[in-house]
Structure 1
Amino acid sequence: MMKLIGIEEHFLTAEIRDAWHAIGLDASDPSVAFHSGTLERRLLDLAEQRLALMDESGVDVQVLSLTTPALHDLGPQAVDLARRVNDAVAEAVARHPDRFQALATLPVAMPDEAALELQRCITALGFKGTMLCGRVGTRNLDHPDLLPVLRSAACLNAPILLHPRVPEMAVRTAYYSGFSPQVDAAFATYGLGWHYDAGVQFLRLVLAGTFDRMPGLQVILGHWGELVLFYAERLAALDRVAGLAHPIATYLRRNLYVTASGMFLPHYLERALATVGADRLLFSTDFPYQYRTGRDARRFLENCGLGEAAKAGFAHGNWMRLISDQIRA
């Protein structure tokens, strides 16, 4: 059968969970409370139970990434924590090299240290890229302070999976509140807020000229482009005022990859295909959040409507090409 690689598949460690609780992140980020029960058990497992669930869904390889909000709210203590997490994940990959790959966990509040850790992860540990969760404190990803991380990724040919995180409190209060606490939290996160936030972060990188300065930098958006692709025609109107080197459509086809994140909807795939092209489609299941039984992932691949060459690219070929020219030790 065609090899199937899921590139947005998450994990958590007990140490990171405890670090979130130690700084009281539960009070400001409702997603912290989502990591409990069955979800937490699946996130914490990097061994046989995860492999069994992969087999059940039809996924051959998971590219492991730390779940949101990652280390974005931790200060200097995140430097050593990131190294320990990355070393532990590297050990899991070494135990199952044909089943796991990894994205680097970075201490992004310390950008210079984060850039060095990304270099270590790519060149020494064999990781394939990194995952960032939008804002770092009050700083958006286009903030000048965070340039070392972006430059490191560009120099290493390391793609950045730009993952959603909860919008800041003022945005949540203005747009996502006024219902019950449970509805407010869901509306601001997986219901809608997460996805607008991630899409806005990517567009801020575009409008800040990031891809003019670093044309080789590659970003991955999950959930079929975090709403960006569905407004490509409206975004094109910004070309008149943005002062960029290229139309926004160029950055969508040159600097953006799009993945499914378990949203197995053929009409979303068709939109992504039309906007970014077949060679920029990646597969993912958003494990464990979108996990469903019955070889769901494999069935979607087999019935997605793509021709055989494009289907192979979607399943694994586009990802393997994206990471093929990374720098190694």
Structure 2
Amino acid sequence: MTTANTGVQDGGNHAPGDRVIAVEEHIATEGFLAAAHTFEVVPGDRDEIDLMRVVETTEPMRSALTDLEARLATMDAIGQDMALLSLNAPGVQPYPARDAVPLARTVNDSLAEIVRRHPTRFGALGTVAPQDPTAAAAEVERIMSQLRLSGLMINSHTAGHYLDEPQFAPLLDAAESAHAPLYLHPRFPSMLRQYERYGLQGPIWGYQAEAGLHAMRLILSGVLDRNPDLTIVLGHLGEGIPYWLKRINNRHAFMARTAGTAGSIRPLELTPSEYFRRNFVITTSGMTDPRVLELAFDAIGEDRIMFAIDAPYEDPEETINFLRDTPLSAAQRSNLSHATAERVFGLRESVRSTA
């Protein structure tokens, strides 16, 4: 955070010439809604899908997800230059592979068309069906090469299975090879029963617990030794992990010394915090507390945090005011508002290629 002797004025509007890019901005296409809402749901996902089908069909949320002209008008009103679009969670993952694989391709074609129509206003993260890891790996290649999207979003577990499990190696290999950032987005926890009381299964607590668990599995499983160039993006300022890094390191080392022979602790090339700082980038989605942002800067670095609104689930004006009013140095503001997103997702290059 900026201090009195930096010569940088705190607060106020972002500096002239600073783009504002928001990188976790959800939509639903009409084609997706027409198809997905008729599909069979895999066991265990019915409660989540019942809720999301209500969300996706009830106004004003339905229009907020589907009306891109209204989205652009809101962006213009608040001074947001660009949005990185992604399919509304949990995407295609709750459906059988026979339905999910072709639906993912159709959604990605629609996202690519949106980007072609509005190349300076929208980028997009493709969707894949991890239910079929081989097909998902092929779709990652198509997302990055043919469709020229900016990465992919996976909504945490798929039928209770996590990306550190061996069957998903082709998908992670493809993401690494294609230089596709993988946005690991929350959904209802796979261990749902204990979260169901008091609304804990959703964004109050369950979402961040689920995504944080998934990220920690990727770190501690050794996946990031096998895929050292994989980039993983976490929302909500890191799903709590940045603030636990010292204890995670400490307890991992302790467990490796005392219980490693039991097979529960894998030997790793780096400490957990080193993987987090090397392989992860985080976004502000849903988090508008300057004090927490300051902790995140200190924990993982000023060039590894990106701005996100989490539209249409958060208030765009409130979130953009957080970006503009939080006391930041010029470098912090530039990195947060656009520069890190341009680097991680190649957004600067994609704009240039369409000029």
Q: TM-score, normalised by structure 2?
A: 0.84
Give 1:15's match in structure 2, choosing from 17, 22, 31.
31
1:258 aligns to what SS in structure 2? strand
Q: How far 1:24 moved relative to its partner?
A: 4.6
Equivalent in the alignment of 2:143: 121
8 Å Cα contact 2:123-2:347 kept in structure 1: no
**Alpha carbons 1:64, 1:102 under 8 Å: kept:** yes
8 Å CA contact 2:309–2:316 kept in 1: the answer is no
For 2:219 and 2:342, locate their aligned partners in 1 and report how far apart those are by CA, in whole Å. 25
> Between the two proteins, what is the percent identity of the paired residues?
34
- In the alignment, the residues of structure 2 paired with residue 153 and residue 161 of structure 1 have an alpha-carbon distance, to the nearest angstrom, of 11
* Separation of aligned partners in 1, 2:233 and 2:329: 23
Q: State the SS of the aligned residue for 1:189.
A: coil
The whole-number CA distance in structure 2 between the counterparts of 1:159 and 1:59 is 22
Alignment map for 1:92-171 (pairs within 5 Å): 92-168=114-190, 171=191
Q: Distance in 2 between matches of 1:9 and 1:327?
A: 20
Structure 2 residue identity aligned to 1:49: A
TM-score by length of 1: 0.90
Conserved in 1, the CA contact under 8 Å of 2:342 and 2:348? no
Tell me if 1:216 matches 2:229: yes
Q: Structure 2: how far apart are the matches of 1:21 and 1:212?
A: 41
- 1:172: which partner in 2? 192
Q: Point out where structure 2 has 5 or more consecutive residues left out of the alignment.
A: 1-15, 257-264, 351-355
1:299, distance to aligned residue in structure 2 (A): 2.4
Give the drift of 1:131: 0.4
1-structure distance, mates of 2:349, 2:94: 29
Q: Secondary structure at the match of 1:257?
A: strand
Contact 1:157 1:326 in 2 (8 A): no
For the 8 Å contact 2:150–2:347, the answer to whether it is kept is: no
Once structures 1 and 2 are overlaid, which stretch shifts more, 21-30 or 159-168?
A: 21-30
CA distance in 2 between partners of 1:140 and 1:203 (Å)? 11
Query: What residue number does 1:28 align with?
Result: 47
Gaps of 5+ in 1: none
1:318 corresponds in structure 2 to 340
Between stretches 269-278 and 15-24, larger displacement belongs to 15-24
Q: Deviations over 1:236-259 (max 9, x none)?
A: 121342421111110121011110
**In the comparison of the two structures, how many residue pairs are matched?**
317
User: Deviation of residue 136 (structure 1)?
Assistant: 1.0
The answer for the alignment partner of 1:198 in structure 2 is: 211
- State the alpha-carbon separation in 2 of the partners of residues 31 and 156 from structure 1: 34
AA at the equivalent of 1:251? Y
What aligned pairs does 1:212-291 form with structure 2 within 5 A after superposition?
A: 212-236=225-249, 237-240=251-254, 241=256, 242=265, 243-291=267-315
The Cα RMSD (Å) is 2.2
Task: Provide the rounded CA distance (Å) in 1 between the counterparts of 2:337 and 2:321.
Answer: 12
Q: Look up the SS of the partner of 1:70 in the other structure.
A: coil
Q: Secondary structure at the match of 1:118?
A: helix
**SS at structure 2 position matched to 1:194:** helix
By how many angstroms is 1:21 displaced?
Answer: 4.6
Q: Deviations over 1:31-82 (max 9, x none)?
A: 4133332122111123x11101112333210001111111112222222211
C-alpha change, 1:20 and 1:233, in structure 2 (3 Å) is farther
SS in 1 for 2:213: helix
Q: Give the aligned partner of residue 5 of structure 2.
A: none
